[in-house]
Structure 1
């Protein structure tokens, strides 16, 4: 990636300069490289990862020895769920034009860097594990909590529809759900969605959490994969329970009922063949072994689980559970080097196969307004997903 800086031009950016401390500052405006675009930020989704970085639970900006670089030493510009308008194109860019609306795959991989031969992970379509991977807004590269951003043109996918910008900001989040589901499908798990043999077919899915991830998973399972079996969602928030119920699920309030007994009852004692943790709450691990069948699949999607003794996972060993840890949404590439997963996610939003309008509960119309989401709003009972819209 070209990191040239125009020393005379500046822009506004929201810097995270210490744990829990944001400040809008004037910073150098990036110059576009020959294979890059200059993007004017239109909208940015606020991700759980952003909140973890803000609080200090997560820092993926590492030095050469793999040690986290403190924010005081190197402040970060967060924001990786990105929509914008092409402001300028580099000399080598042929397939994007000034004025195009685009979503970004924010992760730099071998295609982004024009690197040949591709690393072993990019060859197999696992670009989020690229040997040379870096990510805007996550690993220290500047994110989109700023007026402008430069990125290789192959990381941008044009929006050719009238999809609302605020909804397009959830393309990255949906891409993560699609990628995780693809990873699960590639396993040789005993139970598979849509398996021809009934005894090998996933008949019950249990999802922990009805935040953005859980809500997207339910729609993806129903509307894209065509799953017709039972989906149970465990969620403590009443508003989220009502919302996810509308997507064709049965809901459980684990504060009001014994979740093990509830799952047994709703599955006629069979338990779940597929469990998805979309909550990041480590407390769930104590009950998981009692909720799923032997040789079932457990997708560890949510991030967090801090401060909890995970020795309970030993119980999964004796059940021969298929444990899947998936992250990101980049996936495989088309013949141009663009992400197929992001393209699929964008198409699902454009064709209204996935409805994200009800997920977006909070909007922020300036860089100055964004810290409110981190300090207070995300703790509110009615908060599901926030999006900065400039």
Structure 2
């Protein structure tokens, strides 16, 4: 996963943001020619472009505004920009949306019902737009169990449809100067943790969740297929959880093989 910052600024009362607009014609242009001409993937002629928008407003009193310090570039974001993504979530997405769901930032405004964070706090985002975020009571079965990423009500409640921040028109996204988030989504960052590490919280949490589901024994042998960001983080999570056994990692590129060795793979193959 890479990370980026927006170094330009919008006018007073406005923000710069990287926005995705729903346009079948623009989508087809990028889908057909974007691989050969990458410059077509972003700009006024493409679904994705840099725009200036009015500052977002708090949807309710238990929401806050966050100014991103760093924003992650997820593989799913790249697929959206390059028109390679699946249409599976299209009915559960609201347009236009601001990309970006991996973020570390500062709280710059709080609603009158917020109790969890204060202005000036440095936070990371749990991006799922689940029942607590949407003001839905009682929450769905998954949210009752704390499995907010599996929420069944992502098209209901007080905000527009969207699986997570970065795919909902009402929340904004991390690829902007400001976004709004429900206080339920925010987690404080310890003072000694650099932004460059904190930005990895959301993807590493996904990898750790996968590793925790493995009931391994010391004699087990694990095959890890793929050493992109998520694969490498899963490898690291397994070692951090105390698995000292054999891990064979499959990596396509040389830099991935080098990182797999650093992360503790026993054997790395192409």
TM-score bracket for the superposition, by shorter chain length: 0.7 to 0.9
> Within 5 A, what are the aligned runs for 1:109-120?
109-120=130-141
Q: Counterpart in 2 of 1:15?
A: 19
> What aligned pairs does 1:197-346 form with structure 2 within 5 A after superposition?
203-223=220-240, 225-254=241-270
- The superposition leaves residues 240-274 of structure 1 with CA deviations (integer Å, 9 ceiling, x where unpaired) of 212211222133333xxxxxxxxxxxxxxxxxxxx
Cα distance in 2, alignment partners of residues 90 and 37 from structure 1: 6
Q: Report the aligned-residue RMSD.
A: 2.1
Give the number of the structure whose alpha-carbon radius of gyration is greater. 1
Query: Is structure 2 residue 56 aligned with structure 1 residue 26?
Result: no
Mark the CA change 1:25 to 1:175 in structure 2 (over 3 Å): closer, same or farther: same
Superposition deviation, residue 61 in structure 1: 5.4
Residue 128 of structure 2 corresponds to residue 107 of structure 1: yes
When normalised by structure 2's length, the TM-score is: 0.77
2:202 matched to which residue of 1? 172
- SS of 2:108's partner is strand
Separation in 2, partners of 1:110, 1:216? 28
Count residues with an aligned counterpart: 226
8 Å CA contact 2:223, 2:248 repeated in 1 = yes
CA–CA distance in 2 between the matches of 1:53 and 1:246?
31
Instruction: Work out the CA distance in 2 between the residues paired with 1:193 and 1:43.
Output: 35
CA distance in 1, matches of 2:88, 2:122: 29
Q: Give, in whole Å, the separation in 1 of the partners of 2:131 and 2:66.
A: 21
Does 2:52 match 1:52? no
C-alpha distance in 2 between matches for 1:246 and 1:12: 38
SS in 2 for 1:177: helix
Conserved 8 A contact 1:42-1:165: yes
Alignment equivalent of 1:40, drawn from 53, 64, 67: 67
Residue segments in structure 1 that go unaligned for 5+ positions in a row: 1-7, 186-191, 195-200, 255-390
SS of 2:131's equivalent in the other structure is coil
Secondary structure in 2 aligned to 1:173?
A: helix
CA distance in 2, matches of 1:235, 1:35: 44
**For the Cα contact (< 8 Å) 1:206–1:233, is it kept in 2?**
yes
1:193 maps to 2:216: yes
- Paired with 1:138 and 1:202, the residues of 2 have a C-alpha distance of 43
Q: Is the 8 A contact 2:248 2:269 kept in 1?
A: no
What's the secondary structure of 1:136's corresponding residue?
A: coil
